[in-house]
Structure 1
Amino acid sequence: MIQPIMHDPLFLAQKSAPATPEDAPVARDLLDTLTAHADGCVGMAANMIGVLKRIIAVEAEDGGYLVLFNPVILKKSGLYEAEEGCLSLEGVRKTKRWQSIKVQYQTMDGKPRIKTFTGWTAQIIQHEIDHCDGILI
């Protein structure tokens, strides 16, 4: 179900709790909401739809979407400056990102994964992990 976008900075500044396979309905709502905003959005975190769980959905290189539960960056390299926007905030802001990140996460059904992401996908994932940590650009 498409959910409204959260704009309350006090809510968005809270850290999200770990997600479990029982949170799969939240992930489906997150994907529905992301695809509904696909013309201006490439990634979302669950707190953006009002749920404080460590779930992110991001545009994948193949044109589909990736859903990551409890993502954690294990390794990073290639720091650069970027400008980003966010559906929860107005305008564009400067931030620092890593060109390559190694991420540990779980699938929606709880299977552990480790994958290295680079470029645009890595930037999106970093933005959404920041959301999970209560960090706004």
Structure 2
Amino acid sequence: MQREIMTSIPFLSQPSVEAENTEADLAVAQDLKDTLDTNRNGCVGMAANMIGMPKRIIAFVDEDLGGRITVMFNPRITAQDGAYDASEGCLSLKGERRTIRYQRIEVSYADRKFRERHATFIGFTAQIIQHEIDHCEGIII
């Protein structure tokens, strides 16, 4: 189900809690995916707190997989290199902001079946994931 986009800075500034392998958190992931799909014309990634659910769940458009939306539960960046200056926008905020991103990242996360995964991402996909993990940490970009 598509949800409304959260714009409350105090809410978005709070770190999210770990997602669990429950029907409720799987439903949040589906709502997140549906909301991202609806907003695809102006958005390439979302975190669950952007739809009012303070859980460590992100979804992003993965161009390396033909534009499929990928969902990660409890993502954590374990390695990064190739720092660069970026300017990013966000559906939850007006305008763009500058930040430091990394060209290559490694991420540990759980998939939809809560199997532990570890993957490397580069380029724009890596940038999207970094932005959404910042949301999970309560970091506003």
TM-score range normalised by the length of the shorter chain: over 0.9
Q: 2:92 aligns with which of 68, 88, 91?
A: 88
State the TM-score, normalizing by the size of structure 2.
Answer: 0.96
State the TM-score, normalizing by the size of structure 1.
Answer: 0.99
Aligned length: 137
Kindly report structure 1 stretches of 4+ aligned residues shifted beyond 6 Å. none
Cα offset, 1:136, TM superposition: 0.4
Percentage identity across paired residues of the two chains:
55
SS of corresponding position for 1:91 = strand
Counterpart CA distance in 2 for 1:20 and 1:101 is 24
Counterpart CA distance in 1 for 2:57 and 2:102 is 20
Cα offset, 1:60, TM superposition: 0.5
Counterpart CA distance in 1 for 2:3 and 2:81 is 35
Residue of structure 2 in register with 1:100 after alignment: 104
Counterpart CA distance in 1 for 2:21 and 2:111 is 8
After the TM superposition, which residues 124-135 of structure 1 pair with which residues of structure 2 at under 5 Å, given as runs? 124-135=128-139
SS of corresponding position for 1:28 = helix
Counterpart CA distance in 1 for 2:115 and 2:20 is 10
After the TM superposition, which residues 29-68 of structure 1 pair with which residues of structure 2 at under 5 Å, given as runs? 29-61=31-63, 62-68=66-72
Equivalent position amino acid for 1:11 in 2: F
Cα offset, 1:109, TM superposition: 1.5
Which consecutive residues of structure 2, in runs of 5 or more, have no partner in the other structure?
A: none
Q: 2:119 aligns with which of 115, 118, 126?
A: 115
Deviations 1:112-135 (A, max 9, x none): 000000000000000000000000
Residue of structure 1 in register with 2:140 after alignment: 136
